[in-house]
């Protein structure tokens, strides 16, 4: 597999391309380096509203005509808003590449944000906030992210009802004018493509789109403040979520953290699955994962269980986090390493997946990396590296959220987390 290409185009767009000869599709992403962290505090939800409405009308077409034009070339699109970026994705057959790029340029550069579309988007978002209440695992995620990543990075993209009420069309226009420009744009593409030809297409379509000066490359940072909070909800399960600081993507021990997570929750032999589900039958779902805003790392652990075993489940989670540094084995590290490598190598054969790794590398490293380079540090991680990571990232300061009918009750649990400030929800 050829090394990916990295180009800084004159128009200001930063581009990464992975030619994959023989593939029948092209996968691309336009990433704008501006997310929910850029929203004014009293207008939370703004970034997502821009994402929802930016394709609802352009200087040339109505929203419907625009989506029809994408469908005319059989190019399904997607969009997302994250903490520090927004992304617009598309897959198409290679012969429709230029048309697909042209349509993206049209709505990214000349959105009209029709008044009725904005009002509709706000109303729909309010309903989606209501939907979140009917999905307890997702609701618990929203709460723990707030306490894990802080009041800025931990924002929910949906916003809040009272902040949505403060947003009007002019806010969307202003946000787009300030945040959407080539200086904030990263473009990633994988599949049956010629990078030079793609670069010309991007240059042609995006030249002159806002400021080309590089901005949005730095993380916004936050200070972690451990918090304990229970949200009372009359449901059958208790949702338990906790988090604590981990390594950032650029840190030397980031690969060791990935292997640690593999040991903890990488598959059915992971320690959490083994101890919580297989040995005690406490919970159907238990997992751990990392979130990595730029320059930051946070490990999240979650389980949902019947209320009568919530304390036992919680104690088991804590014990497994503690036990990692006591009896980690070479076999566990080797297994987690093999799994990461096999997964990455195999997924790299898929156009969409390769586009995803290119975009992530541009975002975190400022350049695309080959699969070999992406895996080089992983291949070298040893048990000692993971132990060293665990020593430098103690799990003694954590935020804890419970959502359900009773929270955590018994004495041992209370002792464990008693030092934390407790806010009743």
Partner 1 sequence: MKTDNHFGAHTLPNGLRIVVEQMPDTRSVAAGFLARTGARDEVPELAGISHFLEHMCFKGTTNRTWEQINTEFDDIAVDYNAFTSEERTFYYGWVQTENLEKQIELLADMMRSRLPAEEFDMEKKVVLDEIARSNDQLMHVAYDFLHNTAFDGHPLGWPVLGHDATVEALTREQMSAYYQERYAPNNLILIAAGDVTLERVIELAEKFCGQWESGPAKPERQTPKMKVGSVLKQLDQFGQQIVALCYPAPSSVDPLHETANAAASILGGQNSRFFWNIVQEGISPDASCYRIPYCDYGMTLLWGQADPQNCERLLEAMQSQAEKIGTSKVDEQEVQRVKNKRRTSLAVESEAPYYRLVQIMGDVDLLGAPRSIDQRLADVDAITVDRIAEYFESYPFDAQDRLLISVGPRDWQGQN
Mark the segment that binds partner 1 (CB under 8 A) among 105-113, 181-189, 301-309, 380-388. Answer: 301-309
Q: How many residues bind partner 1 (CB under 8 A)?
A: 70
x/- map, 21-50, partner 1, by CB under 8 A: -xxxx-------------------------
- Contact between 77 and 196 under an 8 Å Cβ cutoff? The reply is no
Q: Tell me the C-alpha distance between 38 and 35, whole Å.
A: 6
**Cβ burial, residue 282 (10 Å; 0-12/13-18/19+):** buried
Q: Tell me the C-alpha distance between 304 and 141, whole Å.
A: 12
Closest approach, Cβ 135 to partner 1, in A, equals 6
Collapse the DSSP code of 228 into the 3-class scheme (helix H, G, I; strand E, B; otherwise coil) and give the result.
strand
Mark the segment that binds partner 1 (CB under 8 A) among 60-68, 179-187, 194-202, 315-323. Answer: 60-68
Which backbone phi and psi does 225 adopt, to 5 degrees? -125, 110
x/- map, 213-252, partner 1, by CB under 8 A: ---------------------xxxx---------------
Out of 166, 174, 338, 370, name the contact with partner 1 by CB under 8 A.
338
Out of 207, 275, 285, 373, name the contact with partner 1 by CB under 8 A.
285
x/- map, 129-168, partner 1, by CB under 8 A: -xx-xxxxx-------------------------------
- Contact between 129 and 160 under an 8 Å Cβ cutoff? The reply is yes
Window 353-382: residues binding partner 1 (CB under 8 A): none
- The residues, any chain, with a CB within 8 Å of residue 216's CB and separated by 6 or more, are 32, 33, 34, 84, 85, 183, 184
Closest approach, Cβ 275 to partner 1, in A, equals 12
For residue 281, state whether it binds partner 1 (rule: CB under 8 A): yes
Give the DSSP H/E element, type plus range, for residue 31. Answer: strand 26-32
For residue 120, state whether it binds partner 1 (rule: CB under 8 A): yes
Closest approach, Cβ 248 to partner 1, in A, equals 26
Mark the segment that binds partner 1 (CB under 8 A) among 66-74, 244-252, 293-301, 376-384. Answer: 66-74
Beta carbons within 10 angstroms of residue 209's beta carbon: 19
For residue 70, state whether it binds partner 1 (rule: CB under 8 A): yes
Beta carbons within 10 angstroms of residue 46's beta carbon: 25
Mark the segment that binds partner 1 (CB under 8 A) among 142-150, 168-176, 335-343, 378-386. Answer: 335-343
Closest approach, Cβ 124 to partner 1, in A, equals 4
Give the DSSP H/E element, type plus range, for residue 262. Answer: helix 254-265
DSSP state of 62: B
Mark the segment that binds partner 1 (CB under 8 A) among 36-44, 217-225, 344-352, 413-421. Answer: 344-352
- Contact between 69 and 104 under an 8 Å Cβ cutoff? The reply is no
For residue 282, state whether it binds partner 1 (rule: CB under 8 A): yes
Collapse the DSSP code of 80 into the 3-class scheme (helix H, G, I; strand E, B; otherwise coil) and give the result.
strand
Q: Write the DSSP assignment of 350-383 as a string of letters.
A: SHHHHHHHHHHHHHHHSS---HHHHHHHHHH--H
Collapse the DSSP code of 15 into the 3-class scheme (helix H, G, I; strand E, B; otherwise coil) and give the result.
strand
Q: Tell me the C-alpha distance between 243 and 259, whole Å.
A: 17
Q: Which of residues 152 and 235 has its CB atom nearest to partner 1 in the complex?
A: 235
Q: Tell me the C-alpha distance between 238 and 308, whole Å.
A: 9
Out of 79, 350, 360, 420, name the contact with partner 1 by CB under 8 A.
350
For residue 306, state whether it binds partner 1 (rule: CB under 8 A): yes
For residue 74, state whether it binds partner 1 (rule: CB under 8 A): yes
Residues that bind partner 1 (CB under 8 A): 22-25, 56, 63-64, 67-68, 70-76, 91-93, 117, 119-120, 123-128, 130-131, 133-137, 234-237, 266-270, 273-274, 277-285, 304-306, 335, 338-339, 342-343, 345-347, 349-352
């Amino acid at each position: 597999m050829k090394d990916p290409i990295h180009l800084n185009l004159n128009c200001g767009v930063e581009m990464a391309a992975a030619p994959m000869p023989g593939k029948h599709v092209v996968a691309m992403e336009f990433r704008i380096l501006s997310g929910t962290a850029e929203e004014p505090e009293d207008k939370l939800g703004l970034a997502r509203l821009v994402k929802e409405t930016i394709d609802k009308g352009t200087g040339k077409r109505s929203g419907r005509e625009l989506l029809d034009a994408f469908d005319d070339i059989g190019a399904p699109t997607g969009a997302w808003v994250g903490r520090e970026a927004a992304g617009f994705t598309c897959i198409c057959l290679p012969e429709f590449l230029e048309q697909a790029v042209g349509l993206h340029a049209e709505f990214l550069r000349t959105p009209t944000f029709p008044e009725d579309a904005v009002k509709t988007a706000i109303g729909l978002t309010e309903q989606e906030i209501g939907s979140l209440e009917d999905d307890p695992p997702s609701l618990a995620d929203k709460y723990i992210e707030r306490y894990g990543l802080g009041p800025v990075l931990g924002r929910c993209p949906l916003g809040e009802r009272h902040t949505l009420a403060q947003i009007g069309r002019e806010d969307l226009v202003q946000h787009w004018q300030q945040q959407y420009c080539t200086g904030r744009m990263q473009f990633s593409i994988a599949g049956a493509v010629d990078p030079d030809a793609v670069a010309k297409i991007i240059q042609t379509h995006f030249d002159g789109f806002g400021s080309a000066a590089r901005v949005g490359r730095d993380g916004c940072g936050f200070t972690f403040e451990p918090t304990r909070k229970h949200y009372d909800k009359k449901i059958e399960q208790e949702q338990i979520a906790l988090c604590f600081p981990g390594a950032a993507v650029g840190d030397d021990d980031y690969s060791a953290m990935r292997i640690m997570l593999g040991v903890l929750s990488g598959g059915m032999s992971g320690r959490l699955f083994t101890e919580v589900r297989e040995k005690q039958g406490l919970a159907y779902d238990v997992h751990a994962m990392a979130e990595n805003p730029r320059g930051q790392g946070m490990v999240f652990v979650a389980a949902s269980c019947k209320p009568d075993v919530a304390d036992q489940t919680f104690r088991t989670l804590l014990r497994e986090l503690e036990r990692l540094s006591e009896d980690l084995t070479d076999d566990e590290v080797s297994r987690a390493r093999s799994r990461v490598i096999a997964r990455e190598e195999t997924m790299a054969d898929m156009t969409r997946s390769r586009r995803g790794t290119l975009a992530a590398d541009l975002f975190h490293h400022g350049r695309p990396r080959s699969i070999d380079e992406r895996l080089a540090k992983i291949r070298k991680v040893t048990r000692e590296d993971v132990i060293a990571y665990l020593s430098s990232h103690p799990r003694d300061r954590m935020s804890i959220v419970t959502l359900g009918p009773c929270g955590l009750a018994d004495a041992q649990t209370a002792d464990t987390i008693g030092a934390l400030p407790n806010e009743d929800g």
